[in-house]
């Protein structure tokens, strides 16, 4: 399959490889600033589109990439606000404190761009995540590790933090970073 992944996320790469896709990696530096008050769906769709379009602009017109599809993606955690990657220890603590014993949402936006035609397909997926009521000491123990600092919402469901997840409603791979089942049909023409 002719896929370009506009991301440096090892988790997105692993998901694609698990489904038999070995993409070309072309992460893009884009401005991830969002306007105040943007809703969770629009936020991830905007960021995914920016990444995919930056990659498209880098490869369009290059015959080497004709017939490829670009995947741009972005994931956020939503609990009354967008929770991106934590700025520091205090920010990580704040986020993990806010989601404990409650329900929050993990939202991933995906923008697919056909390199040959420039046609865009935009989608998002939402998974409801239920956390147990862990303690302040549990939070401190978790944020003493490296794991939370490059993750939306300060946690990785597939890592150590998974012990604090009671259950989810929705797609597990979406929480990890890429809702493959949502893009599977759109990728069929690129086989």
φ/ψ (deg, to 5) at 49 = -65, -40
Lookup: tokens for 69: 């599809």
Lookup: tokens for 77: 């955690």
Contact at 8 Å (CB) between 149 and 161? Answer: no
Residue with tokens 């944020």: 143
36, 39, 63, 74: which one is catalytic? Answer: 74
Integer Cα distance of 88 and 150 in angstroms: 10
Active site residue 74: yes
Contact at 8 Å (CB) between 64 and 130? Answer: no
Integer Cα distance of 179 and 162 in angstroms: 18
Catalytic residues: 74
């Amino acid at each position: 399959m002719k896929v370009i992944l506009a991301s440096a996320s090892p988790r997105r790469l692993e998901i694609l490889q698990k489904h038999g896709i070995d993409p070309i990696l072309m992460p893009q530096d884009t401005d991830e600033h969002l306007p105040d008050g943007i809703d969770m769906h629009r936020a991830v769709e905007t960021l995914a589109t920016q990444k995919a379009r930056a990659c498209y602009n880098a490869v369009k017109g290059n015959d080497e990439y004709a017939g490829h599809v670009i995947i741009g993606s972005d994931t956020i955690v939503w609990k009354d606000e967008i929770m991106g990657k934590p700025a520091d220890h205090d920010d990580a603590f704040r986020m993990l404190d806010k989601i404990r014993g409650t329900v929050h949402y993990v939202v991933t936006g995906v923008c697919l761009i056909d390199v040959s035609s420039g046609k865009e397909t935009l989608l998002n997926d939402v998974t409801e995540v239920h956390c147990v009521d862990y303690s302040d000491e549990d939070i401190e123990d978790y944020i003493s590790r490296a794991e939370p600092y490059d993750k939306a919402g300060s946690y990785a469901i597939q890592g150590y933090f998974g012990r604090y997840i009671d259950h989810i409603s929705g797609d597990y791979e979406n929480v990890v970073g890429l809702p493959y089942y949502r893009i599977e049909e759109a990728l069929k023409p690129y086989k």
